[in-house]
Structure 1
Amino acid sequence: MATKEDVQDPRIPKIASSIRVIPDFPKPGIMFQDITTLLLDTEAFKDTIDIFVERYKGKGISVVAGVEARGFIFGPPIALAIGAKFVPLRKPKKLPGKVISEEYSLEYGTDKIEMHVGAVEPGERAIIIDDLIATGGTLAAAIRLLERVGVTIAECACVIELPVLKGREKLGETPLFILVTSDAA
C-alpha cells in the first residue's frame, strides 16, 4: 500500500500496515480491506482521524456526511474536531421520518442511500467520508444526493482506494482525498 500524496506523511505507513487484507471475503476473488484491525490500533486510528482533521479544520466545512456503515466510524470524530455537524447517509428504511434518497447501480441491481430531509441546508459546504472507494457508486450517489439539496461538496475522503476498480472516475469533478492505496481488489 502507498500514499497518493507526493510527500508521504510519516504516519501513513503505520496506518497502511494496520489494515488487514482478507482473501476471498465475502466471496472468492475478493481481497477484503479490513479496517477493524486499524480500529484496534489506537495510535493508527488516532493518526487517521488527525490527518483528516488537519486537512479540513478551518476550511469552512459545516457538514461531514458519513456513508453507512464505516463512514459512521470516521465521520463523527472528524465532525466534532472541526466544528461541523455529522449527517448519516443510510441504507433504505434505516432513518425514521421523512427522507430523500438517491439510487445507484451495483454489480447486479441497484441500491439507495437516504438522508433526513432538513439535515442539511442549501449553501452548506460538506465533505463525504467513507472507509474505502472501490467502484465509486456509493460516493457518486452521495454527491448527487447532497448536491440535489444545494450543498457544495468540498471533497470526498476515504482511508483506502482500490484504484484498479476506477471508482475515482465516477466522482466527476469532485476531489478525492485518500490515505492509502491498495493493489488488492
Structure 2
Amino acid sequence: MDKNNKLQILKNAIKSYPDFPEPGIIFRDIFGVFNNITALRAMKDLIMEHILFLEVDLVVGLDSRGFLFGPIISMELDKPFLPIRKKGKLPGKVIQQKYTLEYGEATFELQTEFINKGTRVLIVDDLLATGGSMAAAVQLVKSIGAEVIECIVIMELTLLKGRDKVDVPVHSFIQYDH
C-alpha cells in the first residue's frame, strides 16, 4: 500500500466532534485510529517510514496520547521510551518545565535518571495545536543537554501556528486548517 493510501486510511479513522469541549471547537480524536487495526497499522507504517533514517537514542512521548504510540515506535526502533508527564505523576528525581495553556499554566516533568547529555531524542504526540506543550517538552529535554532530533505529531492544526513555537523540526502527517 502506498503512502497516500495509508494517509487516507489514517485520516478517515480520525473522528471529528464539532462543538467539543466548547462551541466553535472541532475536536480531532485519535482514538478512532486505535479502534481500527488497519488504520493503526497505516499510522505505524507512516511513522516508521518517516523516521527510518533518523539517528535516535530515545523516544519521548507526551502526556497522555503520546504514550499510546510512543512505545510502539520505541519497540520498532529497539530504543527505550520515556514519558513526559504532568506535574506530580512521576517518582524519583524529575526536572520541570512550565508552559502556558489557553486558560492558565501547567507543568511537565521528566525523570532525569533515564536521559543523559547528548542523548538523541524523538518527541511524539498526537496533536500540535498552539505549540505550548510541545515547546515545553523540547525545552525540558534540551535542559538536560539532550538533543531533540525531531518532533512527530499525527495531526496539526495549522491555523494555530504551533510549530512556530517549536525550535526543532516538526513533522505532521495530517494537517487541518480549521
TM-score (norm 2): 0.95
Counterpart of 2:173 in structure 1 is 179
Counterpart of 1:138 in structure 2 is 133
1:57 CA displacement:
3.0
1:108 CA displacement:
2.0
1:128 aligned onto 2:135: no
Taking only aligned residues, the RMSD between alpha carbons, in angstroms, comes to: 1.4
| Secondary structure, counterpart of 2:114 in structure 1 | coil
Trace 1:53-72 onto structure 2 (pairs within 5 A): 53-72=48-67
Task: Kindly indicate whether the alpha-carbon contact (under 8 Å) linking 2:3 and 2:46 is maintained by their aligned counterparts in 1.
Answer: no
Counterpart of 2:162 in structure 1 is 167
Which of 21, 37, 41 in structure 2 is aligned with 1:26? 21
Which of 5, 20, 31 in structure 2 is aligned with 1:10? 5
TM-score (norm 1): 0.92
Counterpart of 1:118 in structure 2 is 113
How many residue pairs match? The answer is 177
1:55 CA displacement:
2.1
1:97 aligned onto 2:92: yes
Task: Kindly indicate whether the alpha-carbon contact (under 8 Å) linking 1:58 and 1:82 is maintained by their aligned counterparts in 2.
Answer: no
| Higher RCO (CA-CA < 8 Å; seq separation 6+) | 1
1:58 CA displacement:
4.4
- Runs of 5+ unmatched residues, structure 2: none
> Which whole-Å CA distance do the structure 1 matches of 2:3 and 2:49 have between them?
15
Higher helix share: 2
| Secondary structure, counterpart of 1:10 in structure 2 | helix
Identity of aligned residues (%): 37
Larger displacement relative to structure 2 (130-139 or 40-49): 40-49
Summarize deviations over 1:145-181 as a string: whole Å, max 9, x none: 0001011111000000000111010012x11111101
